[in-house]
């Protein structure tokens, strides 16, 4: 870099001095442009764009000070070193050179070695300056780009997460607007049954990697909660998704609760977050410690969903937080810590002010300390069912009204289809589109499974369930089943399903008819009339599940009615 | 003679010769032409009692004298520059005469250096 030839402007009104300097600089391999005074120097600077300027201080027309000022102006952000040529020696004159924008002096007589050293040094500085500026520009550009990307990501995330009910009357929360880039996620959603799911997550890492994981969590959380899935189903799905998409070492500490206002209880799953708190109106404080690994760590088959369950009375409060609260630091680098946190519960006797007291204490503690934007905290209060204040509004109205509630279908399976096709997943899928019915998927599955297998095995295949009572009979039963399935040709099973809205829930009617000869169901009728249990055909269970259950015709037709209502006492 | 050595710095001139190469003669001629002009400027400024013009011309002359390596003349120019700057033109005629004399000596000696 030192040997790189440079264009150097020499401005000096003294001919002999200029000749000497020009000769020296040329000998060092640089290209020289000369000027005889300040005005000339400005002109030459504009037309030739030299890298370094050697400038006499005293010149006619325009002196070196003025010329230096103008050149610095013209150069803008570019560093053009100006070295003053001077036989001035008093401090005041030298200071004037620097004030005018000069970078150094060279005194007469010119010393070749010193001049060369200065040119090299200033060239290094010039190159460094240029590198610095281009890096600065690059950084500024990257930063703009990053902010723009974050804005987009935030918009997308907000669109995904906005469905929530964080603004419900019984929820208080603290969450930075850019929390998603701190890895903090706070989601709340009312369930079709009227309860509420609240999820607080804290991802490892910051920035986009943390935000990327938050998107599917929000999507799954809202999607599944709206469809009536249980909390443990939501957690299992989130865990599996995160495990699948996050790189090793990335995971999400989380606490999720399912609060039922109707039953007055809360179910808690907590993995990796600081202990949560259940604070009762009477002052009892229950700490709930993490007993799971964070989400996204364990493979689906090793993930477990044991939960804690607590009864809650109106006025009881549930608190969750990320470690940002406990690890908030003051100016001395001390952490807020759990002791100070629990002290607030001792000091603040009015439980409705606890949330703001904790917030205030943390902020007071941080003081002038570094304020991270990752203070995330939520309080969910138990209220009576009619106080939730959004039973008929928000997402619930949307999800409850949208979707099929009034419909009927008939599905007939014939011949070979009966042998190798299981209609249950398909039918269940259709039935579960009824908003809110998913909560009863277990019962619906049981009814549908029993009725269709009865129709196939006893109706169409004419297998005797009595066979299954002995081990040998059991084997024979299945051998016969396989054999007769092979011979199926014109036989059929017809499943008719009908759903009608009924109050906030509905009535699901299932009718299954088969091509078989039917059976004598008088025993069943008799037992039913005498309030006795009728055994066989898995029927006892069905009669308890269904509002109405009956065989008709020759016994090849069975009718069942399942009436359901959203979560009740 | 020691007098002559003080008027021109031979080692400085040798160094200049090395730097200037074939332009060395041109440099000396340029210096002598410019200097003749400076001497006139100094003399006239002194005569008119223009201390600022005197100081400026002497300063500039001093600089080129230093570069070429003519220490006696450079020293005299420095004296004249200071008198001019202070506005004390007393005894300036004697100083101008000394500059004239020294310039005469320098011219003679430098011309000997021309090839």
Residues of chain B contacting A112 with CB distance shorter than 8 Å: 15, 19
**Nearest of A17, A97, B62, A113 to residue A105 by alpha carbon:** A97
Q: Cα distance from A114 to chain B (closest Cα, Å)?
A: 14
pLDDT digits (tens, 9 = 90+) for A303-342: 988 999 999 999 999 999 998 888 888 888 888 999 999 9
Q: How far apart are CA A5 and CA A52, in angstroms?
A: 11
Nearest to B67 among A13, A16, A27 (CB): A16
Which residue of chain A comes nearest to B28, CA vs CA? A16
**Average pLDDT per consecutive 10 residues, chain B (115 residues; last block may be shorter):** 64 88 90 92 89 89 90 89 86 88 89 83
pLDDT digits (tens, 9 = 90+) for A501-528: 988 889 999 999 999 988 888 877 776 6
The answer, for A16 touching chain B at a CB cutoff of 8 Å, is yes
What is the value of ipTM here, to two decimals?
0.89
A295 pLDDT higher than 70: yes
Q: How far apart are CA A52 and CA A47, in angstroms?
A: 14
Q: How far apart are CA A462 and CA A523, in angstroms?
A: 18
A552 pLDDT higher than 80: yes
Q: How far apart are CA A329 and CA A373, in angstroms?
A: 12
Per-residue pLDDT, A535: 52
Residues of chain B contacting A17 with CB distance shorter than 8 Å: 63-64, 67
At A392, the pLDDT band (50, 70, 90 cuts) reads very low
A192 pLDDT higher than 70: no
**Which CATH number does A403-564 carry?**
3.30.565.10
Q: Do A58 and B66 touch (CB under 8 A)?
A: no
The interaxial angle of helices A207-226 and A112-161, nearest 10 deg, is: 0
Q: Do A14 and B30 touch (CB under 8 A)?
A: no
Q: Cα distance from B56 to chain A (closest Cα, Å)?
A: 8
pLDDT digits (tens, 9 = 90+) for A241-283: 999 988 888 899 999 999 988 889 999 999 999 999 999 999 9
Is omega for the bond preceding B78 within 30 degrees of 0, making it cis?
no
A2 pLDDT higher than 60: no
Cβ atoms of residues A313 and A284 within 8 Å: no
List the domains of chain B with CATH numbers. Answer: 2-113 (1.20.120.160)
Integer angstrom CA distances of residue A186 from A157, A183, A204, A221, A333: 12, 10, 15, 11, 27
At A569, the pLDDT band (50, 70, 90 cuts) reads very low
Listed range (A88-97, A442-451, B68-77) with the worst mean pLDDT: A88-97
Which residue of chain B comes nearest to A85, CA vs CA? B63
Residues of chain A contacting B15 with CB distance shorter than 8 Å: 112
A442 pLDDT higher than 90: no
Q: Cα distance from B30 to chain A (closest Cα, Å)?
A: 6
Per-residue pLDDT, A534: 52
Per-residue pLDDT, B39: 92
Listed range (A111-125, A192-206, A469-483, B3-17) with the worst mean pLDDT: B3-17
pLDDT digits (tens, 9 = 90+) for A146-171: 888 888 888 888 777 766 888 888 99
Nearest to B64 among A14, A24, A27 (CB): A14
Interface of B with A in 54-93 (CB under 8 A): 56, 59-60, 62-64, 66-69
Mean pLDDT of A492-508: 92
- Cβ-count burial A95-110 (b if 16+ within 10 Å, e if not): ebbeebbbbebbbbbb
Per-residue pLDDT, A391: 43
Residue A230 burial (10 A CB sphere; 0-12, 13-18, 19+): buried
The answer, for A87 touching chain B at a CB cutoff of 8 Å, is yes
The tokens describing A73, both together, are 């102006």
**Which CATH number does A162-391 carry?**
3.60.40.10
Q: Cα distance from A108 to chain B (closest Cα, Å)?
A: 6
Per-residue pLDDT, A163: 60
The tokens describing B32, both together, are 């002598």
Mean pLDDT of A442-447: 82
**Average pLDDT along chain A:** 86
Tally of CA atoms within 13 A in the half-sphere of A254 that contains its CB: 32
Mean pLDDT of A526-554: 74
At A371, the pLDDT band (50, 70, 90 cuts) reads low
Per-residue pLDDT, A399: 44
Under DSSP, the state recorded for A516 is S
At A395, the pLDDT band (50, 70, 90 cuts) reads very low
A393 pLDDT higher than 60: no
A400 pLDDT higher than 60: no
User: Under CATH, what is the fold of the domain A7-132?
Assistant: Rossmann fold (3.40.50)
Domain boundaries along the sequence of chain A: 7-132, 162-391, 403-564
A49 pLDDT higher than 90: yes
């Amino acid at each position: 870099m030192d040997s790189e030839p440079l264009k150097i402007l020499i401005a000096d009104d003294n001919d002999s001095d200029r000749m000497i300097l020009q000769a020296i600089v040329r000998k060092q391999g640089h290209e020289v442009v000369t000027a005889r005074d300040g005005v000339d120097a400005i002109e030459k600077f504009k037309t030739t764009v030299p890298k370094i300027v050697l400038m006499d201080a005293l010149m006619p027309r325009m002196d070196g000070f003025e010329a230096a000022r103008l050149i610095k102006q013209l150069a803008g952000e570019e560093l053009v070193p100006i070295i003053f040529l001077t036989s001035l020696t008093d401090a005041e004159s030298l200071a004037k050179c620097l004030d005018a924008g000069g970078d150094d002096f060279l005194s007469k007589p010119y010393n070749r070695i010193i001049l060369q050293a200065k040119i090299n040094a200033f060239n290094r500085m010039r190159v460094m300056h240029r590198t610095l500026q281009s890096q600065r520009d690059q950084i500024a550009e990257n930063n703009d780009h990053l902010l723009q990307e974050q804005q987009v990501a935030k918009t997308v995330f907000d669109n995904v997460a906005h469905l929530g009910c964080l603004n419900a009357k019984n929820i208080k929360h603290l969450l930075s607007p850019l929390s998603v880039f701190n890895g903090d996620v706070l989601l709340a959603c009312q369930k079709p049954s009227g309860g509420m799911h609240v999820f607080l997550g804290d991802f490892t890492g910051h920035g986009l990697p943390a935000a990327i994981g938050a998107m599917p969590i929000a999507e799954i959380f809202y999607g599944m909660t709206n469809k009536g899935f249980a909390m443990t189903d939501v957690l299992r799905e989130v865990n599996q998704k995160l495990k699948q998409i996050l790189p090793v070492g990335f995971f999400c500490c989380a606490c999720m609760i399912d609060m039922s206002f109707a039953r007055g209880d809360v179910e808690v799953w907590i993995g990796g977050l600081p202990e949560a708190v259940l604070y009762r109106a009477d002052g009892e404080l229950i700490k709930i410690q993490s007993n799971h690994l964070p989400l996204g760590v364990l493979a689906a088959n090793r993930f477990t969903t044991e939960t804690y369950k607590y009864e809650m009375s109106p006025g009881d409060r549930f608190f969750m937080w990320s470690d940002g609260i406990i690890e908030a630091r003051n100016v001395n680098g001390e952490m807020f810590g759990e002791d100070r946190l629990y002290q607030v519960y001792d000091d603040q006797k009015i439980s409705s002010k606890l949330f703001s007291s904790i917030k205030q204490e943390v902020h007071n503690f941080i003081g002038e300390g570094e304020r991270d934007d990752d203070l995330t905290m939520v309080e969910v209060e138990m209220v009576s069912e009619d106080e939730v204040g959004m039973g008929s509004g928000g997402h619930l109205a949307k999800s409850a009204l949208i979707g099929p509630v009034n419909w009927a279908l008939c599905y007939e399976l014939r011949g070979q289809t009966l042998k190798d096709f299981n209609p249950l997943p398909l039918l269940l899928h259709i039935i579960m589109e009824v908003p809110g019915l998913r909560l009863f998927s277990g019962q619906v599955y049981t009814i549908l499974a029993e009725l269709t297998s009865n129709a196939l095995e006893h109706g169409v295949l004419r297998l005797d369930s009595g066979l299954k009572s002995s081990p040998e009979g059991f084997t024979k039963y299945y051998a016969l089943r396989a054999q007769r399935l092979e011979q199926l040709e014109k036989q059929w099973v017809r499943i008719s399903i009908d759903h009608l809205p009924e109050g906030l829930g509905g009535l699901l009617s299932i009718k299954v008819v088969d091509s078989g000869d039917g059976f004598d169901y008088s025993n069943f009728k008799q037992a039913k009339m005498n309030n006795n249990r009728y055994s066989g055909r898995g029927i006892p269970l069905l009669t308890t599940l269904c509002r109405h259950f009956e065989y008709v015709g020759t016994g090849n037709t069975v009718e069942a009615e399942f009436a359901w209502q959203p979560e009740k006492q | 003679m020691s007098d002559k050595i003080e008027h021109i710095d031979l080692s400085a001139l040798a160094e200049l010769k090395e730097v200037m190469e074939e332009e060395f003669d041109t440099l000396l001629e340029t210096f002598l032409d410019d200097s003749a002009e400076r001497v006139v400027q100094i003399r006239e400024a002194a005569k008119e009692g223009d201390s600022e013009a005197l100081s400026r011309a002497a300063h500039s002359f001093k600089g080129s004298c230093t570069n070429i390596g003519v220490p006696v003349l450079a020293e005299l120019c420095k004296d004249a520059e200071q008198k001019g700057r202070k506005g004390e033109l007393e005894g300036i005629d004697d100083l101008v005469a000394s500059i004239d004399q020294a310039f005469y000596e320098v011219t003679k000696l430098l011309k000997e250096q021309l090839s």
